[in-house]
A = this chain, B = another copy of it.
Amino acid sequence: MPDAIPADSVGIVETQKVRFDEPLMLACGRELPGFDLVYESYGELNATGSNAVLICHALSGHHHAAGYHSMDERKPGWWDECIGPGKPIDTDRFFVVSLNNIGGCHGSTGPTSINPETGKPWGPDFPPLRARDWVHSQVRLADHLGIDCWAAIIGGSLGGMQAMRWSLEYPDRLKHCVVIAAAMKLSAQNLAFNELARQAIVSDPAFADGRYMDNDAIPAQGLALARMVGHITYLSDEAMANKFGRDLRSGSFELGEADSVEFQVQSYLRYQGSQFSGSFDANTYILMTRALDYFDLAREYDNDPVKAFAHARCSFFVASFSTDWRFSPARSREIVDALIEADRPVTYVEIEADEGHDAFLMPIPRYLDVFSAYMRRVGEGC
């Protein structure tokens, strides 16, 4: 909880909800019979509607990206380091929109919502989604808000993948695409970690084939394990070493009971796991990781990213972090190489940072400087 709202915060924010009744045709061939989207906005839309920026969230993200819902909120939105007055995504200049994706569990229509056909929660029957489905649903939100063309669409990780998909599906509806710590597709190792996380969830007996809501239960152990997988892979070896090393919770270094916790890193992981399992929906986690697995930017373009990006008309900003081993700088350079070959304007920066994949959320001075500089250019074109 802030004692006072910091001067560079967007302050107290309110979540909006909008209903779209027209069915949405999905990539899987099924139709979503209308949906809700929850979103927040920060800053003011200008008269010509040219200063709007869309934030796409990552795996476990949501619409609450900046500011506080109340003075009682312990922490601000998840990307508060980058969104606010004077920050890289400057709310004195931009109208910033951040939504919860369909399939999510923070208010937009997803597995915990009521399936109108059955009157019960969708649960595991919620249609599988691809990143492009999110893009199509976000177009509805843009239309609703009167935004013909985004000044920029911005995302980190899975959010960066959505931003890239926007640039191919709706090339005339964004001027800049900001892709941070992302990749054109997952590696086998990425796939393997996602499979591990999903198997942890589905093998929890409380999961009950995804019908845990019918039993008023949650697969808490499975979700906690999945979150542990996430935390280990979001952090670099260096970040973990800096944060915990081999520090002990007690000074004993005595091998105690098999389930005892001696190292700080153990208690951190257990705490993070248990926090997450109380706040995130298991079917959503499965749905989101599968959307990640199936994201393959150039698949419909003869597996040629140059052909894919030939369809884009916007400028690109690509950023990666030196110790990010989930989406390493090599993956970002593949994007940049393809953009250059496709003759698209692109700015690339590789930031030295110890924090691994999580670095994209951190206030790393050089990252904030370069990101700010790029966004000033975006603002000048509004």
Bits for A18-62, please: 1 = Cβ < 8 Å to B, else 0: 000000000110000000000000000000000000000000000
Bits for A254-280, please: 1 = Cβ < 8 Å to B, else 0: 111011001101100110010000000
Smallest CB–CB gap between A213 and chain B, Å? 14
Residue of B nearest to A30 (CB): B255
Judged by a CB distance under 8 angstroms, whether A381 is at the interface is no
Smallest CB–CB gap between A48 and chain B, Å? 39
* A263 in contact with B191 (CB, 8 Å): yes
* A199 in contact with B270 (CB, 8 Å): yes
Judged by a CB distance under 8 angstroms, whether A70 is at the interface is no
* B228 in contact with A187 (CB, 8 Å): no
* B192 in contact with A258 (CB, 8 Å): no
Judged by a CB distance under 8 angstroms, whether A188 is at the interface is yes
The A198-238 residues at the B interface (CB cut-off 8 A) are 198-200, 202-205, 210, 221-222, 224-225, 228-229, 231-232, 235, 237
* A229: chain B residues within 8 A (beta carbon): 196
Judged by a CB distance under 8 angstroms, whether A320 is at the interface is no
Smallest CB–CB gap between A346 and chain B, Å? 24
Judged by a CB distance under 8 angstroms, whether A379 is at the interface is no
* A188 in contact with B269 (CB, 8 Å): no
* A192 in contact with B259 (CB, 8 Å): no
Judged by a CB distance under 8 angstroms, whether A293 is at the interface is yes
A228 touches which of B196, B269, B286 (Cβ 8 Å): B196
Smallest CB–CB gap between A223 and chain B, Å? 11
* B203 in contact with A205 (CB, 8 Å): no
Smallest CB–CB gap between A215 and chain B, Å? 15
Residue of B nearest to A126 (CB): B258
Smallest CB–CB gap between A99 and chain B, Å? 22
Residue of B nearest to A209 (CB): B259
Interface size class on chain A is 35 or more
Knowing A185-B246, A196-B232, say if A124 contacts B205 (CB, 8 Å): no
- The complex places the Cα of A270 from the Cα of B290 at a distance, in Å, of 16
* B192 in contact with A240 (CB, 8 Å): yes
- The complex places the Cα of A221 from the Cα of B356 at a distance, in Å, of 30
* A299: chain B residues within 8 A (beta carbon): 253
- Supply 21 A–B pairs (Cβ within 8 Å), ascending by A: A129-B255, A188-B244, A188-B245, A189-B240, A191-B244, A191-B246, A191-B265, A195-B265, A195-B266, A196-B232, A200-B200, A203-B221, A203-B224, A203-B225, A210-B258, A225-B225, A253-B296, A255-B290, A255-B294, A258-B290, A262-B293
Question: Which residues of A are at the interface with B, using a C-beta cutoff of 8 A?
Answer: 27-28, 124, 128-130, 185-189, 191-193, 195-196, 198-200, 202-205, 210, 221-222, 224-225, 228-229, 231-232, 235, 237, 240-241, 243-246, 253-256, 258-259, 262-263, 265-266, 269-270, 273, 283, 286-287, 290, 293-294, 296, 299, 325
